[in-house]
């Protein structure tokens, strides 16, 4: 049996590591695993296929930013991918993030429709059923439930500078994404599953599979003597990920509380307040696990998220999580392992920092680690995908 996954990254970032983990789970069941990706790959056990090259990604980005044509460039790259897919002849095609400036989705779905291949599509965000954005909640927009247009989020990813093509994009996506007959959708949270059933994808079968992480790598490390520390971790830092709130919160912290932000750019690092330690992006799981372990509280002050793996990584390292009540982020925590506060409520954030400081991290650590092991082991969650593949294949 052959599995071919398509994602913007391979074994890099959260979705890339998820794809590689699923591939490894498939190989453990004697499947062959292929991952086709757009950019950024770390070595893994699956066979990797680069879609296009750096130049095609850049040109796709130009079309997207100037003309709001995200997912409509990369024609040559996608045709070459299809030729390779025809050669591999996969039994299952598993899609992840097909946005990210690297693939032409009408060509891809036209091939999937004609081939009749079973398709599994994991939804890590909302891009698949909107005319433009990946997270409509930041604007409180509901146009995607009927027909997009006059988009309020053109300046958000995938940013468009000149044109608003959201109405046509919506129609193009609906036509392409509803054209295949054998597709199962996997929302990564109950939150996005609820919105899925209000979208033009509502007629496809869906099953929620929460993300999984490597709890053997993300585990508690020996803590060193230090100040009470709170951290934030993100692959990209901007307003939607709570960067402005972290900066404001830094001005509220007492001198005996240390704050670290992981994943900032060099330019962002230079602009951070003096009491925030900026750490640039790292692909080292060991380094991340040490950072999570040294923290007393993980803060996820996000305004747009589906089911962030950073919450799971912190829990696995024995660190309690404080998250805004955003998307599927609260689904990771319980009252024994973390806290949920309204978006932007920094007073409540400060109260919880004081609470955890008074009680001590050890009050939460065992429950955090246990929750990660019982619910978010990659071996369990990724085997859920193998069982899904088997059910699909059994139907013929």
Q: Is the pLDDT of residue 64 over 70?
A: yes
Q: Which helix (H) or strand (E) holds 322?
A: strand 321-324
**pLDDT at residue 224, rounded to an integer:** 66
- Find the mean pLDDT for residues 87-114: 98
How far, CA to CA in Å, does 98 sit from each of 15, 46, 92? 11, 19, 16
Q: Is the pLDDT of residue 394 over 70?
A: yes
**pLDDT at residue 225, rounded to an integer:** 62
Q: Which residues contact 121 (CB under 8 A, 6 or more apart)?
A: 94, 95, 96, 128, 183, 184, 185, 186
How far, CA to CA in Å, does 271 sit from each of 39, 313, 333? 28, 27, 32
- Find the mean pLDDT for residues 373-389: 97
Q: Is the pLDDT of residue 396 over 90?
A: no
DSSP per-residue letters across 252-288: TS-TTEEEEEEEE-HHHHHHS-TTEEEEE----HHHH
* Other C-beta atoms lying within 10 Å of the C-beta of residue 55: 9
Angstrom distance (rounded) from CA 132 to CA 173: 10
pLDDT tens for each residue of 71-97? 999 999 999 999 999 999 999 999 999
pLDDT tens for each residue of 206-260? 999 999 999 999 999 987 667 899 999 998 999 999 999 999 999 999 999 999 9
Phi/psi of residue 381, nearest 5 degrees: -70, -40
**pLDDT at residue 223, rounded to an integer:** 74
pLDDT tens for each residue of 160-176? 999 999 999 999 999 99
Are 304 and 286 a contacting pair, CB within 8 Å?
no
pLDDT tens for each residue of 289-312? 999 999 999 999 999 999 999 999
Q: Which residues contact 150 (CB under 8 A, 6 or more apart)?
A: 143, 164, 166
Q: Enter the tokens of residue 57.
A: 């990604």
Angstrom distance (rounded) from CA 302 to CA 236: 11
Residue with tokens 């092991």: 373
Q: What predicted TM-score, i.e. pTM, was given to this entire model?
A: 0.92
């Amino acid at each position: 049996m052959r599995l071919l996954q398509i994602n913007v990254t391979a074994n890099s970032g959260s979705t890339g590591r998820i794809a590689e983990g699923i591939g490894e789970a498939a190989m453990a069941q004697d499947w062959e695993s292929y991952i086709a990706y757009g950019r950024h790959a770390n070595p893994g056990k699956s066979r990797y296929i680069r879609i296009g090259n750096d130049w095609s990604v850049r040109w796709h980005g130009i079309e997207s930013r100037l003309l709001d044509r995200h997912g409509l460039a990369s024609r040559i790259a996608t045709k070459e991918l299809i030729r390779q897919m025809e050669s591999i002849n996969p039994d299952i095609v598993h899609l992840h993030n097909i946005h990210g400036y690297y693939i032409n989705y009408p060509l891809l779905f036209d091939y999937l429709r004609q081939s009749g291949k079973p398709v599994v599509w994991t939804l890590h965000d909302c891009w698949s059923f909107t005319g433009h954005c990946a997270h409509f909640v930041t604007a409180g927009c509901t146009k995607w439930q009927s027909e997009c247009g006059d988009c309020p989020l053109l300046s958000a990813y995938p940013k468009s500078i000149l044109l608003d093509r959201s109405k046509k994009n919506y129609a193009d996506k609906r036509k392409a994404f509803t054209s295949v007959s054998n597709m199962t959708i996997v929302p990564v949270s109950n939150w996005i599953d609820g919105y899925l059933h209000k979208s033009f994808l509502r007629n496809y079968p869906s099953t929620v599979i929460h993300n999984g992480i490597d709890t053997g790598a993300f585990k508690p490390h020996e803590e060193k003597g230090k100040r009470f520390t709170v951290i934030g971790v993100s692959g990209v830092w901007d307003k939607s990920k709570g960067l402005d709130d972290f900066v404001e919160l830094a001005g509220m912290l007492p001198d005996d509380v240390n704050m670290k932000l992981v994943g900032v750019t060099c330019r962002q690092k230079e602009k951070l307040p003096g009491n925030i330690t900026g750490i640039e992006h790292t692909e080292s799981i060991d380094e991340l696990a040490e950072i999570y372990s040294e923290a007393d509280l993980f803060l996820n002050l996000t305004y747009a998220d589906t089911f962030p793996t950073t919450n799971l990584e912190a829990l696995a390292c024995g660190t309690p999580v404080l998250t805004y009540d955003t998307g599927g982020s609260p689904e990771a925590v319980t009252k024994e392992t973390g806290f949920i506060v309204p978006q932007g409520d920094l007073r409540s954030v400060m109260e919880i920092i004081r609470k955890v400081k008074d009680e001590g991290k050890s009050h939460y650590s065992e429950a955090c680690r246990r929750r990660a092991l019982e619910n978010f082991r990659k071996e369990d969650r990724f085997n859920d995908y193998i069982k899904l593949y088997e059910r699909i294949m059994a139907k013929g």
